[in-house]
Amino acid sequence: MKITLKNIEASRTRSAANMITPERMPPGRYAFTVKTVVFSDTEKDMALYVNFDVHGENNLSKSMNVRCEPQMAQDDINFKRNLASVAIIANLLDAAQPESGKQFKKMVAAASTAHATGQDDAFNAAINSIYELVDGLSGLNFTGYFEWNTSKKDGKKYFNLRNERGNPDQVISLDHVREPVTHEDNVPEGLKAKRTLIKGKR
């Protein structure tokens, strides 16, 4: 059976309407919702992903994630980029409950040490503790500063969550509620008690 495609142009139009560009979502503070936290454990990828949707105007949204490898060693070529991801996740945790970001960083250090020294049981325990803590972010709504950066490799523009200490515009805050939080049963006890959500504009 031969398939005759009649809706190619409609598909292109729909894709163009949903395309995120610097003009449609300029740099600034945007609300975003953490949708899921996933730990990938495959032969090609062992990493923690915090997946979130950024909410723009006119029903525009962009799905993004923060990816970190808790086991990465300091001499890895990507260590600085990994450290930046660890810092973002720590700041998300601190916005939900102060000091929990410091706890996360200690867990990452423990995971890295255990991985480097071949202590598999300790590494597994550290990863499970990290996942349990970070999974508490699922369903929470934040506000953060996003900007466009141009890749030196391919010249493409990428929309990135910024996270610069000492810059009040770039502080990640828990001050926007777009939808009900329904993950209370999965939230570690420490996070559950200190959560304060204030309804804000979309």
The string of pLDDT tens digits covering residues 139-172 is 899 999 999 999 888 888 889 998 876 788 888 9
Whether residue 40 contacts residue 49, with contact meaning beta carbons closer than 8 Å, is answered with yes
pLDDT at residue 186, as a whole number: 46
> Which pLDDT value is given to residue 199?
34
pLDDT score at 184 = 46
pLDDT of residue 146: 94
Comparing CA positions, the residue from 133, 126, 153, 103 lying closest to residue 46 is 126
- Sequence-distant (6+) residues with CB within 8 A of 95 are 142, 172, 173, 174
Q: How far apart are CA 32 and CA 52, in angstroms?
A: 6
Predicted local distance difference test score (pLDDT) of residue 109 = 96
Which residue pairs, CB below 8 angstroms and at least 24 apart, start in 145-149? 145/27, 145/28, 145/29, 145/30, 145/169, 145/170, 145/171, 146/25, 146/27, 146/28, 146/29, 146/30, 146/54, 147/27, 148/22, 148/27
- Which ranges of the chain have pLDDT less than 70? 1, 14-17, 165, 175-202
Among 177, 180, 184, smallest CA distance to 201 is for 177
pLDDT value at position 127? 96
